[in-house]
Amino acid sequence: MFFKIIISLTLLLSSSLMANSSKPTLIFYCGITMVKPIKEMAKIIEDKYNCTIKISQGGSKDLYDSLRYSKVGDLFLPGSNSYRTNNLKDGYLLEAVEIGYNKAAIFVRKDKNKENIDLEDFVKTSLSSILCNPKSGSIGRETKKIFENYKGEDFFYDAYDNSVEIGTDSRNLNRALIDKRADITINWRSTAFWQENNKYIDIIEIDEKFAKKEKLKISLLKFSKNKEIAKAFMEFAASKEGQKIMEKYGFL
């Protein structure tokens, strides 16, 4: 996935330069879960500042590895704030703004009876599960935390051993349920409200003792060549208008 992001980033840059070398072009590294509201905001900023915003989307770890390797880009929005706090030491992430929260939930296919389904079902065989790799997407890291908060490390290993498939990111998890490759998963709750998912997926809330709200923060990148426009994007995302867009896509 990391190398796919590097290749797509190279293509984004080369196509932008060919299209208009004088028009400011921003690269926004965005976790898959937040792509829809960020695309809507990007269109508003593009029109206002006569710029182009290219969105590089993927798993949060792959995105950070990509920006660290390329040292190109302007903004970074991971699915979990831990990808900011754990990487501040590298010096690439500057100031940040908080634009909302996300929270994990149990996702169930609509053709399954969701009554009485809970975290225990991830170690049972009555329902098939897909779980995200904790080393790739933010929801994988969050799933690991949830299982360990619930019953400890042994439960985490048992649940992953019991899963029929290991996914790479939130989009991959939803697709597995829609395609009926699995019955249940743990995913970011906002994605269940998207038009392409809500006809197929129900959610079951997880007690906040185990699944805490995750802050969503946009970070300015040290090597940004368009800091003024990047900061304007950050300010807009944190504004009332930006918050309405986030809420529209199911974010808290």
Q: What is the average per-residue pLDDT within 226-241?
A: 97
Q: What is the average per-residue pLDDT within 4-16?
A: 51
| Edge-to-edge strand ranges of the sheet holding 184-188 | 184-188, 104-109, 201-205
- Residue 137 sits at the vertex; the CA angle it makes with 158 and 142, to the nearest 5 degrees, is 55
With cut-offs at 50, 70 and 90, classify the pLDDT of residue 9.
Answer: low
pTM of the model as a whole? 0.78
Are 84 and 78 a contacting pair, CB within 8 Å?
yes
Q: What is the pLDDT of residue 80?
A: 86
For 2-11, 118-127, 129-138, 201-210, which range has the lowest pLDDT when averaged over its residues? 2-11
With cut-offs at 50, 70 and 90, classify the pLDDT of residue 17.
Answer: very low
With cut-offs at 50, 70 and 90, classify the pLDDT of residue 12.
Answer: low
Q: Report whether pLDDT(18) > 50.
A: no
- Residue 68 sits at the vertex; the CA angle it makes with 62 and 71, to the nearest 5 degrees, is 125
**Residue 119: exposed, middle, or buried by beta-carbon count in 10 A (0-12, 13-18, 19+)?**
buried
Which tokens go with 236? 């807009």
Q: Report whether pLDDT(60) > 90.
A: no
Q: What is the pLDDT of residue 214?
A: 86
The Cα–Cα gap between 136 and 174 comes to 16
* Between 9 and 155, the higher pLDDT residue: 155
Q: What is the pLDDT of residue 184?
A: 98
Q: Report whether pLDDT(14) > 60.
A: no
